[in-house]
Amino acid sequence: MNLFYFLLETPPEVVETQTRIIDEFLKGGPVMWPLLGLSVLTLTAALERGWFWLRLISQEDRIVNDVLEASRYDLSKALEIAEYARHLTIGRFLLAPLQLRQPSPETFRLAMEAAADKEFIKMRRGDKLLETVIAVAPLLGLLGTVTGLISTFDNLTVGGGGSADEATRAASGIGAALLTTAAGMVVAIMALLVFRVFVTLQAQQMDYFSRVGSELELIYRQIWYEPADGTIPPPLPVATIATTDGAASRDNRSQR
């Protein structure tokens, strides 16, 4: 039991660090609270989107390979694999054209493009929040600094009546006012880094979806597509031209 309480006891160094952080936070004034809220929102968005991208990137290659391999032999099997993976973005993207009944290549492609547009919108979830944090956090920091400086100079006695203690308090007040600017910049930088990582992943996914969609469409065109009316393509124009030239030559010889 004593060992249990010993493990739960917080070391004095940790307690001192926590106390110092809380004191510095309170020195920043009321503006520090909305900055704390923005930092929590940024961290929440980073964790949620990070989990989303981790699940997608770790499984999409296997799903794509299985669907493309199955589509060469059995479209119903490819549809079954895509249906099983519909909880992921790539699964819903592949499922959209495969669930159509004997579509034309143009309809097949349009279904993929529509599904891709819908999934790209879902990939951008959280971007507006991060953009707002990037823009607002530095402004909140500056607001806290300005209000802190105003309060400091209001309490400062200007002229010969000012003492050294007042000058020291003024310097301390200015330093505390600058804390909000530093905090706002830290929150904005953190949100900007997270935002840039997600934007890069989105661009990579757009290229990946384009390559996968083109390959799936090519497989469908080469192996599975049959014209609905069963018509045979017309002969090549070159053959028609050659026949016409030959007929013209025979007519010229007969006239001679």
Phi, psi values for residue 39, rounded to 5°? -65, -35
d(CA 81, CA 88): 12
Tens digit of pLDDT at every position of the chain (256 positions): 454 444 456 677 767 677 777 777 777 778 889 999 999 999 999 999 999 999 999 999 999 999 999 999 999 999 999 999 999 999 999 999 999 988 999 999 999 999 999 999 999 999 999 999 999 999 999 998 888 888 777 766 555 455 666 666 666 667 777 888 999 999 999 999 999 999 999 999 999 999 999 999 999 999 988 755 554 444 444 444 444 444 444 455 444 4
Task: Report residue 106 as tokens.
Answer: 């143009």
Provide the 10 A C-beta neighbour count for residue 48: 12
Q: Report the amino acid identity of residue 129.
A: L
d(CA 140, CA 228): 64
